Amino acid sequence: MARTAVLGLPRIGPDRELKFALEAFWAGRIGRPELEETARTLRAANWQRAHAAGIDVIPSGDFSLYDHVLDTAWALGAVERDDYFALARGTATRKPLELTKWLDTNYHYLVPELRRGQRFELDASHWTGPLREAAALGIATRPVVLGPFSFLELSKGEGSLEALVPVYAQLLQELAAAGASEVQLDEPCLALDRTDRELDAVADAYSAFGGIDICLATYFAPAQERVFALPVAEVHVDLVRAPAQLPYALEHARGRLSLGVIDGRNVWAADLDRALDRVDAAVAALGSERVTIATSCSLLHVPYEAAREDIEIRPWLAFAYEKLDELGVLKAALDGDRDALLERSREVAAARRAAALDEAVRRREPGRYERDTPYEQRREAQRARVPLPELPTTTIGSFPQTPEIRAARSQPGYERFLERTIAEIIAFQEHIGLDVLVHGEPERNDMVEYFGRQLRGFAFTEHGWVQSYGSRCVKPPILYGDVSRPDPMTVRWWRYAQSLTDKPVKGMLTGPVTILQWSFVRDDQPRSETCRQIALAIQDEVVDLEAAGCFAIQVDEAALREGLPLRRAEQEDYLRWAVDCFRLTVAPARADTQIHTHMCYSEFNEIMDHIVRLDADVLSVEASRSGMEVLEGLEYPNEIGPGVYDIHSPRVPSAEEIERLLELAEQRIPRERLWVNPDCGLKTRAWREVRPALANMVAAAHRRRAAVPA
């Protein structure tokens, strides 16, 4: 009989229990025992919910107090085992590990830094401990481990597969001794383009493993064909992202085949007829005993339970708990009354297809995709309109979202509170001497949700939190329909902020690709079409800001690189329409309006031609954790603001440290094209960190202005 499996479960808690426990621990309000008890409670709840849903293969070892890649590095002895959270968050004297996106998702992982001749030493307790915890509850689980090849690919430095294989072999033996009958090795990097040499090394590595059944899990793209020849008991394939790989997988599977037919990255109730067609094909080819019905990937990327939500589109949704139930329905439908079991799924699919569309949105023509004048002419017009000093200083947009701001949202007099807050933020920036100011975004709970709530076509949840990294959670909007902008969204607060100062205040907008990427997006039309609709809606806001007198408008595209398909053959098409959507957004801007954009925590050099095609007047990028490495080969012809301090860490950099980074930046980028700014927005930081850090940043810029250019 076919079995069901889930590749991973959410870990932040249905009500963000882990987030609040972590922050209480970091603040010294609770100790390590209380934090660990919260973690144990959340793990047990996950296992019990999956067990109650009848899932045959339940994961363990996928839970993390911060990040599963950091956990793997820690367990393998690839990082110093002195202070786990110092590696993640940094301290006053220690920089944290670099943070970047997990493949093409909005989850961030910490990048291990491996040394030449790196040695590894196993501590298997991260997996054996939860395995035994679940067993004590009467629940058998399958440990989930980041595979050796992907661990190395996701790390920096020069670790070798040969050195790592014996440690993984030891881990497999210890898991078997602890009672595991099989283990899931996640190898998402085996769904990327790979060389024959790399695949030969993988084959050699896996031939050294034995003593326990291995499920090799790939996802987010088609598995490399040679994966099916590896000596493993089961291969998992993502049939949501890459359904076309099924025929090859069926022909070449040697053992069990795990079918990822329930979408682990989106919130829509599954089309169970379509999923069952794929399961039927596998059962016909392999026999039911060789088939596993599974989620496409870990459910880390979706909220916990749609049943808690009170929104109109609720019947269309399936969060993690509902997806567990969908797996059970598919298994039952193999030998049961399909019409009765699938009736609800068919009703939902029909309702979504019949949902009203906005014909005005669909008839709107995009117009031109480029600005009227080239950059050099725009630069002169902008300098004539607003002269700025060398190395102009600014921030990326948001200032701290304090408890007072969050509490004020539900109180009378909220708008007056916002005015006072904005006035204080403007006064602070003028006091420390920033050159281009921001209003601080106190009215925005999230850079995507804020806009989504003012656009047509979006729905919002009360409890739909997902983990971004560590204790940082986001509640993505659900983009279900055609998108338009009924009224101006930001002009009121920009106009008020600008009235308080003679310095320019940036208008702050989230770009169309980032809104697309950081929402749960409709799956009934091409993403490019949905993105174009968003671009036109944000374009309307650009036009209104400019008409109000705004000199600098920042259209953040933090997620542009994140959306890049994992296989090269699909990347060119994505980059074409994604960049076109940004260009469409800002195309009406006059020559003397300065367009900024911001990108963070991604590798840009491989798509540099497309970054250049954005043609933003100023591009700001994360650069501090890598020590300005991102500027190597960053041949952006316009102005650039490499981040000079890491806002994801509580440590406050000194003026001397920032000055050294600026000096490095000047070795790569001419001073006349450089801006000075933090890595990202300051929303998650406390004022006690922000005040000295920004003051140090301004002081460092002044010192560099006084120095002879490199």
**What would the DSSP string read from start to end of 383-395?**
HHHS---SS-B--
Q: What angle do CA 458, 462, 465 make, to 5 degrees?
A: 90
Record the tokens describing residue 156, joined without a space. 């920096």
Identify which of 316, 229, 309 has the alpha carbon closest to the alpha carbon of residue 267. 316
Record the tokens describing residue 311, joined without a space. 């929104």
Cβ atoms within 10 A of the Cβ of 247, count? 11
List of residues 6+ apart from 523 with CB closer than 8 A = 266, 268
Identify which of 308, 211, 208, 219 has the alpha carbon closest to the alpha carbon of residue 259. 219
Q: How far is CA 323 from CA 50, 263, 387, 561, in A?
A: 10, 8, 56, 29
* Distance between CA atoms of residues 97 and 662, nearest Å: 20
Question: Which residue's entry shows tokens 């679940």?
Answer: 134
List of residues 6+ apart from 608 with CB closer than 8 A = 633, 634, 635, 636
* Distance between CA atoms of residues 706 and 700, nearest Å: 10
Identify the active-site residue in 68, 108, 301, 648: 648
**For 296, which DSSP code?**
S
Q: Is 440 helix (H, G, I), strand (E, B) or coil?
A: strand
Contact 282, 250 (CB under 8 A): yes
User: Containing H/E element for 43?
Assistant: helix 32-52
Q: How far is CA 386 from CA 129, 423, 551, 593, 638, in A?
A: 61, 22, 8, 10, 17
CA quadruple 474, 475, 479, 485: dihedral sign: negative
Q: b/e string for 206-221 if b means 16 or more Cβ within 10 A?
A: beebeebbbbbbbbbb
Record the tokens describing residue 494, joined without a space. 């920009």
User: Containing H/E element for 294?
Assistant: strand 291-295
Q: Is 100 helix (H, G, I), strand (E, B) or coil?
A: strand
* Distance between CA atoms of residues 624 and 678, nearest Å: 8
Phi and psi for 319 in degrees, rounded to 5? -90, -165
Record the tokens describing residue 89, joined without a space. 């968050």
Phi and psi for 113 in degrees, rounded to 5? -110, 105
Record the tokens describing residue 314, joined without a space. 């609720």
Strands (E), 71-203: 98-101, 108-111, 113-114, 142-146, 156-157, 182-186
* Chain-centre distance for alpha carbon 467: 9
**Helix pair 320-335, 32-52: axis angle to 10 deg:** 30
* Distance between CA atoms of residues 542 and 233, nearest Å: 55
Contact 99, 148 (CB under 8 A): no
Instruction: Name beta bridge partners: 57.
Output: 5
Three-state SS string across 486-542, please? CCCCCHHHHHHHHCCCCCCECEEEECHHHHHHCCEECCCCCHHHHHHHHHHHHHHHH
Identify which of 227, 187, 230, 223 has the alpha carbon closest to the alpha carbon of residue 207. 230
Active site residue 68: no
Cβ atoms within 10 A of the Cβ of 85, count? 16
Q: Which residues have a catalytic role annotated?
A: 648
